[in-house]
């Protein structure tokens, strides 16, 4: 009986050690202590924070998030206290929001029956629209759409689509017939959209009574001839904004440690192209939130990447692969050996063959 009890104790100890070895370390915090971490399905990482929480939940007013629980099936996040819905906040410096469609519609007698030609984009200087992730799109067969910079902006661009039937249109392609697209300039922080018709849609009324224009994230709109009737009831599209901290360079920001936003002691500061301002990131081999003092944690590459054909040893910010006894190589998958590890006998044979080849001239 005593031996059975000893065996059970040893088994319990082994199980406990196994669980301790496989337990995933706790994730680093994304929000400040005492601050709301999410609103509905939207995570709220610092430097963003809920508007009705403590003042230190967000870095400045531009980063305030309102969580609206009234009138929706589930809570929705909005930027500051406005009506711009937030879909996602990325610590890589992207903010996905929803923006409305501008439209201009006519009746069979040429009377304008519905018009919303001017839609002003979010007027916040801290959040320029991404010029690499969005396109300006117009849909219609009697459609002129223009997007202009406002509040000191010095650009005007747009596109024109004129057609009298759907014969040359292809679903899934915005070719300029029925649908046209143009890229956006870099650094756009606000704009207005105007959309209009040249002939009141009179010659295309039977299949296209309206003109539509909107900014949308690439990949979130695919043209269909069905869109010419009513845009298939869509009234808004996702748009990607770029966000940065302040308007200083990294070197200038570091001169004031109290306001410098990269709080993790090994975090890396960098300046994005769609600035001004700077962003922070965790050092290589770490993940998490570099805007918090304890926000970055080591990535266990051995656990997440399975990079070794041999034995993997994780270390802070890195990892090391080792071949098993009797094998040589760097131990990595697709490493210097055929599979990262080569049996010593095979390695020796290969060296002898190379040497003999050189000696014999073969």
Q: Where are the domains of the chain?
A: 28-90, 95-242, 301-360
Full strand arrangement of the beta sheet holding 142-149:
119-120, 191-196, 142-149, 156-162
Question: Taking the complete model, does pTM exceed 0.95, yes or no?
Answer: no
Q: Is the pLDDT of residue 206 over 70?
A: yes
Q: Using 50, 70 and 90 to split pLDDT, how confident is the model at 168?
A: confident
Q: Is the pLDDT of residue 83 over 90?
A: no
> What would the two tokens of residue 49 be?
């924070």
* Section 233-246 average pLDDT: 95
Q: Using 50, 70 and 90 to split pLDDT, how confident is the model at 53?
A: confident
Q: How far is CA 149 from the centre of its chain?
A: 25
What are the residues facing 311 on neighbouring strands? 322
Q: How far is CA 289 from the centre of its chain?
A: 15
* Section 318-345 average pLDDT: 72
Kindly report whether the peptide bond that precedes residue 276 is cis, defined as omega within 30 degrees of 0: yes
| Structure confidence at residue 312 (pLDDT) | 77
Rounded to 5°, the CA angle 331-335-338 comes to 95
Min mean pLDDT across 114-123, 228-237, 279-288 is at 114-123
Q: Is the pLDDT of residue 104 over 60?
A: yes
Q: What percent of the chain has pLDDT over 90?
A: 54
| Structure confidence at residue 6 (pLDDT) | 40
Q: Which helix (H) or strand (E) holds 98?
A: strand 94-100
C-alpha to C-alpha distances, 12 to 20, 24, 25, 152, nearest whole angstrom: 12, 20, 22, 71
Buried b (16+ CB within 10 A) or exposed e, 143-178: bbbbbebeeebeeeebbebbbeeeeebeeeebebbb
Mean pLDDT of the chain: 83
* Section 268-292 average pLDDT: 93
Q: Is the pLDDT of residue 184 over 60?
A: yes
């Amino acid at each position: 009986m005593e031996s059975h009890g000893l065996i059970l104790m040893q088994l319990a100890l082994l199980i406990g050690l196994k669980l301790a070895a496989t337990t995933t370390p706790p994730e680093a915090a994304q929000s400040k202590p005492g601050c709301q971490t999410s609103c509905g399905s939207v995570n709220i990482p610092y430097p963003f924070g809920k508007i009705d929480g403590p003042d230190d939940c967000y870095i400045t007013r531009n980063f305030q998030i309102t969580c609206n629980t009234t009138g929706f099936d589930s809570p929705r996040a909005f930027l500051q206290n406005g009506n711009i819905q937030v879909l996602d906040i990325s610590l890589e410096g992207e903010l996905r929001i929803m923006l409305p469609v501008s439209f201009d519609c006519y009746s069979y007698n040429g009377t304008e029956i519905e018009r919303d030609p001017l839609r002003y984009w979010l007027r916040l200087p801290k959040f320029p629209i991404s010029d690499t992730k969005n396109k300006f799109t117009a849909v219609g067969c009697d459609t002129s759409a223009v997007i202009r910079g406002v509040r000191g902006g010095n650009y005007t661009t747009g596109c024109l689509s004129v057609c009298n039937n759907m014969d040359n249109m292809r679903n899934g392609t915005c070719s300029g017939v029925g649908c046209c697209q143009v890229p956006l300039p870099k650094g756009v922080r606000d704009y207005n959209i105007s959309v209009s018709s040249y002939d009141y849609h009179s010659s295309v009324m039977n299949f296209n009574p309206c003109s539509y224009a909107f900014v949308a994230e690439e990949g979130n709109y695919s043209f269909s001839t069905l869109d010419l009737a009513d845009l298939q009831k869509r009234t808004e599209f996702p748009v990607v904004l770029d966000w940065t901290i302040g308007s200083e360079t990294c070197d200038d920001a570091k001169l004031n440690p109290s306001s410098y936003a990269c709080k993790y002691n090994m975090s890396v500061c960098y300046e994005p192209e769609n600035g001004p301002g700077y962003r922070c990131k965790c050092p290589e081999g770490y993940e998490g939130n570099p805007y918090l003092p304890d926000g970055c944690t080591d990535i266990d590459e051995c656990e997440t990447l399975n990079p070794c054909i041999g034995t993997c040893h994780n270390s802070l910010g890195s990892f090391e692969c080792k071949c098993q006894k009797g094998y040589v190589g760097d131990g990595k998958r697709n490493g210097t050996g055929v599979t990262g590890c080569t049996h010593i006998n095979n390695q020796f044979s290969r060296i002898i063959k190379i040497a003999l080849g050189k000696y014999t001239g073969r």
